[in-house]
Amino acid sequence: MSSAAGPGSAEWRYPNRATPPGSSFYYAVRFAPQSHRDLLAALMGWRHEVRAILDDVSDPGVARLKLDWWRDELRRTQDGAPRHPLSQALAAALDAHGARLPDAPFLALADQVEQEIRRLRPADAAALRAADEQDLGALFELIARANGSGGDAALAAARSHGGWCAAVRRVRDAGLLLRRDRSVLPQDTLADAGLTHEALASAEHRGRLPTLLEPLAEALHRALPAPSAPLPRALRILYRIHAALLDELRRSHLAVVDQRIGLTPWRKLWISLRTR
**How confident is the model at residue 8, as a pLDDT?**
56
The range of the structural domain enclosing residue 4 comes to 1-103
**How confident is the model at residue 224, as a pLDDT?**
78
Percent of the chain beyond pLDDT 70? Answer: 96
- The answer to whether position 175 is within a domain reads yes
- The answer to whether position 114 is within a domain reads no
Q: Are residues 143 and 254 in the same domain?
A: yes
User: Could you tell me which of 79, 105, 218, 222 has the C-alpha nearest to residue 158?
Assistant: 105
- The answer to whether position 250 is within a domain reads yes
* 198 has pLDDT over 70: yes
Confidence of residue 276 (pLDDT cuts 50, 70, 90): confident
- Rounded to 5 degrees, what angle do the CA atoms 172, 131, 183 make? 50
Percent of the chain beyond pLDDT 90? Answer: 87
Q: Are residues 126 and 96 in the same domain?
A: no
CA distance 144 to 151: 10
> CB 74: neighbour CB atoms within 10 A?
21
Among the three residues 76, 103, 130, which one is the final residue of a domain in this structure? Answer: 103
- The answer to whether position 116 is within a domain reads no
Q: For 237-268, how does the pLDDT look when each residue is reduced to its tens digit (9 = 90+)?
A: 999 999 999 999 999 999 999 999 999 999 99
User: Could you tell me which of 159, 164, 167 has the C-alpha nearest to residue 142?
Assistant: 159
Rounded to the nearest integer, the mean pLDDT of the chain is 93
What letter does residue 229 receive in the DSSP assignment? T
Q: Are 237 and 159 in contact (CB under 8 A)?
A: no
Confidence of residue 47 (pLDDT cuts 50, 70, 90): very high
Q: Are residues 25 and 127 in the same domain?
A: no
* 1 has pLDDT over 60: no
Count of domains observed in the chain: 2
CA distance 165 to 138: 12
Q: What is the average per-residue pLDDT within 201-205?
A: 95
**How confident is the model at residue 247, as a pLDDT?**
97
- The answer to whether position 113 is within a domain reads no
* 6 has pLDDT over 80: no
**How confident is the model at residue 2, as a pLDDT?**
47
**How confident is the model at residue 97, as a pLDDT?**
82
Cis bond leading into 7, ω under 30°? no
Q: Are residues 72 and 12 in the same domain?
A: yes
**How confident is the model at residue 5, as a pLDDT?**
57
